[in-house]
């Protein structure tokens, strides 16, 4: 009976500490896993590790009884399994190392906070509620596991909210270098918290000052994260404002182009009416003086009327408008513009996101091509939809000059912020997709993949 209780409490304690942390770690990277069913695989591994831990801890207790040796063996097995979890996370998640490190440290600090507060509460009130016998069964005595479950149930929703509201936007806004600095800060805070906890842990029952020190460290760490999150939120709002301005500029450019075409059409219609009036005057004269030449004149006139055909790019009016605008602009400037669009009638991707992607990619393609001779200016657009995935590629010729910073392309314009490419990547992330950019053989290749549903 005692062995069964030991197995259950050790299994439950390990699962309660690892599962919430694993869920929070993978939450920002949904859609960026290396396996087809990452959740099922992750949960299976955690359950397997919990079984290993419970068996190892129970076996140690059977051999050594309730002793420091049993406690140390259990902790060693826990740390080994925890290290395996970290390695598994790093392997299964497709993301830069800085992003992984930041998320791991953030979640570890939350887990540390839960463990610290649970230990403080248990050490202060556990004996009174459950009696001294339960204290000897650490780690994960029955009473401690109950406290851990209750406190985790309270804190986990807060951790989930912060991850969704602040951590994920931070991963989207900051580049790899900035995230590396934030991750380093998180590592330092985690080490500081660990050091403070290790120094005071043995005195938690006797010294109230040690409890106060640990809580002050937790508050300090929380304050640093709060300031960081507020800063990043403001940064994201500014970036979104700039993206909205950029989108408005694209819309305004298209409106101006449409107005230009309307004015040209009005002028063309005015000239046509004038010319047609002259033809009618001529026909009236022929009818009066040489009626036999009317048929000949009409046949000649018809042969000189040019035939016009308008071929829409696609059935989506908004996409048709923006592609037609850039196609017209490109061909006016001597570009060869090739376009192939095959889309279904209905998609869940809003038009304004598609306009942002195409507007930025085509604007960059035009800017790059303008540096080349007219006979070398080329833009190729392909848009397709298959298996609930929307694919957009824009390939363009360029002069071979690229500016990069920390592995990322930056704009050749004076501000060098490459806001257009950042907004494209943000939209791709929004739809659990991807955006890639590469150059090869005098061509710059942009590829964007979107699923047909948004995660926001």
Yes or no: say if 113 and 119 are a contact pair by the CB < 8 Å rule.
no
378 pairs with which residues across the strands?
A: 336
336 pairs with which residues across the strands?
A: 378
Q: Which long-range contacts (CB under 8 A, 24 or more apart) does 157-161 make?
A: 159/20, 159/24, 159/107, 159/110, 160/24, 160/27
Angle at 122 between CA 118 and CA 123, to 5 degrees: 115
313 pairs with which residues across the strands?
A: none
- What domains can you pick out in the chain, each with its CATH number? 2-245 (no CATH), 317-451 (3.30.565.10)
| DSSP one-letter code for 414 | T
Q: Which long-range contacts (CB under 8 A, 24 or more apart) does 406-415 make?
A: 406/175, 406/176, 406/177, 407/176, 408/175, 408/176, 409/437, 412/367, 413/367
CA–CA separation, 225 and 370 (whole Å): 45
pTM for this structure? Answer: 0.58
Yes or no: say if 319 and 325 are a contact pair by the CB < 8 Å rule.
no
Residue identified by tokens 């804190």 is 155
Three-class SS state of 390:
strand
What's the confidence (pLDDT) of residue 251?
66
CA–CA separation, 105 and 182 (whole Å): 10
In 3D, which of 345, 351, 444 has the Cα closest to residue 398? 444
User: Tokens at residue 449, please?
Assistant: 């993949």
First to last CA, the chain: 49
User: Tokens at residue 121, please?
Assistant: 């509460």
C-alpha distances in Å from residue 120, one per residue of 115, 189, 201, 205, 211:
9, 20, 9, 8, 7
Yes or no: say if 420 and 357 are a contact pair by the CB < 8 Å rule.
no
- Per DSSP bridges, beta strands 378-386 and 336-342 are parallel
The H or E element spanning position 95 is none
User: Tokens at residue 315, please?
Assistant: 């059935």
Three-class SS state of 315:
coil
One-character DSSP codes across 7-62? HHHHHHHHHHHHHHHHHHHHGGGTT-BSSSSHHHHHHHHHHHHHHHHHHHHHHHHH
What's the confidence (pLDDT) of residue 52?
94
Three-class SS state of 395:
strand
What's the confidence (pLDDT) of residue 20?
92
CA–CA separation, 127 and 56 (whole Å): 26
| Residue 338 CB neighbour total at 10 angstroms | 12
Going residue by residue through the chain, which has 456 residues, state the pLDDT in tens, using 9 for 90 and above: 578 888 888 999 899 989 999 999 988 888 778 877 888 888 899 999 999 999 998 898 888 887 778 888 888 999 999 999 989 998 888 888 888 888 888 888 888 888 877 877 777 676 666 655 555 556 777 778 888 888 899 889 988 998 888 888 878 777 777 777 877 887 887 787 777 666 655 554 455 666 676 677 777 777 777 777 777 777 777 777 777 777 677 667 666 766 676 677 677 777 777 677 777 777 777 787 777 777 777 777 777 665 544 457 777 777 887 888 888 888 889 999 999 988 876 777 887 788 888 888 998 899 889 989 998 999 999 998 887 788 999 999 988 776 554 445 554 554 444 567 778 888 888 887 888 888 888 899 999 998 765 555
User: Tokens at residue 209, please?
Assistant: 């000052």
| Residue 135 CB neighbour total at 10 angstroms | 17
What's the confidence (pLDDT) of residue 381?
94
């Amino acid at each position: 009976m005692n062995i069964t209780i030991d197995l259950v409490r050790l299994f439950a304690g390990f699962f309660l500490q690892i599962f919430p942390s694993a869920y929070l770690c993978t939450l920002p990277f949904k859609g960026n896993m290396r396996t087809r069913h990452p959740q099922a695989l992750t949960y299976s591994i955690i359950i397997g590790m919990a079984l290993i831990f419970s068996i190892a801890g129970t076996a140690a207790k059977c051999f050594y009884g309730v002793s420091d040796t049993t406690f140390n063996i259990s902790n060693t097995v826990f740390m080994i399994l925890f290290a395996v979890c970290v390695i598994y996370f790093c392997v299964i998640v497709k993301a830069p190392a800085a992003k992984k490190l930041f998320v791991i440290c953030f979640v570890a600090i939350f887990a540390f906070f839960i463990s610290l507060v649970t230990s403080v509460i248990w050490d202060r009130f556990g004996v009174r509620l459950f009696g001294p016998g339960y204290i000897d069964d650490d780690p994960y005595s029955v009473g401690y596991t109950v406290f851990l479950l209750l406190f985790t149930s309270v804190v986990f929703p807060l951790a989930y909210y912060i991850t969704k509201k602040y951590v994920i936007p931070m991963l989207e806004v900051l580049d790899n270098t900035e995230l590396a600095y934030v991750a380093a800060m998180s590592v330092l805070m985690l080490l500081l918290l660990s050091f403070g906890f290790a120094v005071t842990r043995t005195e938690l029952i006797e010294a109230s000052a040690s409890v106060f020190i640990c809580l002050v460290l937790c508050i300090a760490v929380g304050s640093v994260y709060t300031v960081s999150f507020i800063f990043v939120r403001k940064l994201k709002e500014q970036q979104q404002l700039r993206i909205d301005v950029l989108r408005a500029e694209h819309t305004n450019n298209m409106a101006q182009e449409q107005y230009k075409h309307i004015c040209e059409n009005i002028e063309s219609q005015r000239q046509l009416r004038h010319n047609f009036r002259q033809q009618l005057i001529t026909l009236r004269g022929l009818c009066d003086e040489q009626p036999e030449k009317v048929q000949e004149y009409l046949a000649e006139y018809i042969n000189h009327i040019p035939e016009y055909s308008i071929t829409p790019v696609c059935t989506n009016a908004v996409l048709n408008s923006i592609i037609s605008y850039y196609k017209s602009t490109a061909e006016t400037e001597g570009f060869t513009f090739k376009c192939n669009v095959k889309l279904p009638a209905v998609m869940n991707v809003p038009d304004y996101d598609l306009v942002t992607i195409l507007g930025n990619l085509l604007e960059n393609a035009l800017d790059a091509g303008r540096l080349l001779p007219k006979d070398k200016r080329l833009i190729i657009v392909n848009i397709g939809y298959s298996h609930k995935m929307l694919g957009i590629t824009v390939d363009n010729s360029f002069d071979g000059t690229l500016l990069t910073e920390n592995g990322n392309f930056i704009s050749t314009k004076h501000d060098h912020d490459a806001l257009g490419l950042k907004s494209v990547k943000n939209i791709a992330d929004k739809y659990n997709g991807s955006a890639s950019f590469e150059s090869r053989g005098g061509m710059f290749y942009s590829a964007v993949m979107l699923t047909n549903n948004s995660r926001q």
